[in-house]
């Protein structure tokens, strides 16, 4: 996991990168079902999850020169902003769920790929791929279909919830773009390790406030669930996601993120016995189709379009 190595030579598709990104989203989705298995307040869940993840990453990356990466030109400010943005996105998503419900919050959070698709060509000076917009539309349609029962059941439309959800989606997009930029400057291990421990720092006041206001006490069951969430659904997921993001076009990374809301009902069925309905299955098929579009027809990281090649190297 080196920051020095680039995409596959000659713009060849990095299959391992796509596998890493999809695997990361599948692991992240498991946290949604696991939250229902713990009685801890949300702030405590977020903090404990990050602490366990940070400890796991510290063991995994003990020999990596993370401090030296922080001293690279421009790295420290970007890492600090990434940690703050990541924490803000998580907190705003929580506020949106409380104010407007899961369905509305999920729709707004997963506007993230829209913002990434619009911003990435300007930020990274890339030509927008023709496949991105159709795949994005297909994935968004799939998400709406999955959440249709919740939206049609009188979803709450609080101004606070809508604003928080939109803010969470925008912050998530900034996080994806920052992570992509950072993987070009420092090792991907540094990115995932730093984001996790910065989350601990930024989320600590909120978690302490919830602890004091609710009087919550950890149970053995909660600790086991939080340990699994931290090590598997956060530490391993972030390590895979960050390295995969380094290898794959950022627009593809964001669109493949729709795998997460598709996989969450599967975990709910396996762990909680909640059977997915026909809307969930239909929407999931649309999202999978969108993912296949970018994987099969999208260009590899660093690959230039035929038109650009023709302009640069006329025959």
Q: What percent of the chain has pLDDT over 70?
A: 87
Q: Band of the pLDDT at 51, cuts 50, 70, 90? A: very high
Structurally, the chain folds into a number of domains equal to 1
- pLDDT value at position 264? 79
Question: Is 2 inside a domain boundary?
Answer: no
Task: Return the closest-CA partner of residue 263 out of 241, 280, 238.
Answer: 280
Question: Is 4 inside a domain boundary?
Answer: no
Instruction: Tell me: pLDDT of 311 over 60.
Output: no
Instruction: Tell whether pTM > 0.85.
Output: no
Residue by residue, what is the 3-state secondary structure of the chain? CCCCCCCCHHHCCCHHHHHHHHHHHHHHHHHHHHHCCCCCCHHHHHHHHHHHHHHHHHHHCCCCCHHHHHCCCCHHHHHHHHHHHHHHHHHHHHHHHHHHCHHHHHHHHCCHHHHHHHHHHHHCCCCCCCCHHHHHHHHHHHHHHHHHHHHHCCCCCCHHHHHHHHHHHHHHHHHHHHHHHHCCCCCHHHHHHHHHHHHHHHHHHHHHHHHHHHCCCCCHHHHHHHHHHHHHHHHHHHHHHHHHHHHCCHHHHHHHCCHHHHHHHHHHHHHHCCCCCHHHHHHHHHHHHHHHHHHHHCCCCCCCCHHHHHHHCCC
Q: Band of the pLDDT at 221, cuts 50, 70, 90? A: very high
Question: Is 279 inside a domain boundary?
Answer: yes
Question: Is 6 inside a domain boundary?
Answer: no
The CA distance from 232 to 22, in Å, is: 14
Is the separation of the CB atoms in 56 and 153 below 8 Å?
A: no
Is the separation of the CB atoms in 45 and 226 below 8 Å?
A: yes
**Which residue has better confidence, 35 or 83?**
83
- pLDDT value at position 194? 95
Question: Is 194 inside a domain boundary?
Answer: yes
Question: Is 252 inside a domain boundary?
Answer: yes
- Write out pLDDT tens, residues 237-252: 999 999 999 999 898 9
The CA distance from 308 to 86, in Å, is: 35
Full domain range(s) for residue 244: 11-312
The CA distance from 95 to 66, in Å, is: 33
């Amino acid at each position: 996991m080196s920051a020095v190595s680039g995409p596959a030579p000659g713009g060849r598709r990095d299959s391992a990168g796509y596998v890493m990104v999809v695997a990361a989203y599948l692991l992240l989705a498991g946290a949604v079902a696991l939250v229902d298995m713990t009685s801890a307040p949300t702030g405590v869940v977020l903090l404990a999850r990050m602490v366990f993840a940070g400890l796991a990453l510290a063991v995994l990356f003990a020999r990596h020169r993370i401090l030296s990466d922080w001293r690279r030109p421009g790295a420290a400010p970007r890492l600090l902003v990434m940690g703050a943005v990541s924490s803000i996105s998580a907190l705003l998503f929580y506020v949106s769920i409380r104010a407007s419900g899961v369905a509305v919050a999920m729709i707004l959070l997963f506007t993230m790929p829209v913002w990434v698709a619009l911003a990435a060509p300007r930020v990274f000076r890339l030509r927008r791929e023709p496949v991105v917009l159709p795949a994005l539309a297909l994935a968004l349609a799939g998400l709406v279909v999955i959440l249709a029962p919740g939206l049609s059941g009188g979803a709450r439309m609080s101004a606070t919830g809508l604003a928080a959800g939109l803010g969470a989606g925008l912050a998530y997009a900034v996080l994806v773009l920052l992570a992509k930029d950072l993987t070009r400057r420092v090792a991907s291990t540094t990115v995932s390790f730093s984001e996790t421990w910065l989350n601990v720092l930024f989320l600590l006041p909120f978690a302490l406030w919830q602890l004091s206001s609710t009087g919550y006490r950890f149970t053995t069951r909660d600790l086991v669930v939080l340990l699994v969430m931290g090590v598997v659904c956060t530490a391993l997921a972030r390590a895979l996601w960050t390295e995969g993001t380094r290898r794959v076009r950022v627009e593809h990374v964001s669109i493949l993120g729709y795998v997460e809301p598709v996989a969450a009902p599967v975990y709910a069925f396996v762990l909680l016995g909640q059977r997915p309905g026909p809307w969930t299955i239909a929407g999931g098929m649309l999202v999978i189709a969108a993912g296949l579009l970018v994987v099969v027809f999208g260009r590899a990281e660093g690959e230039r379009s035929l038109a650009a090649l023709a302009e640069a190297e006329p025959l």
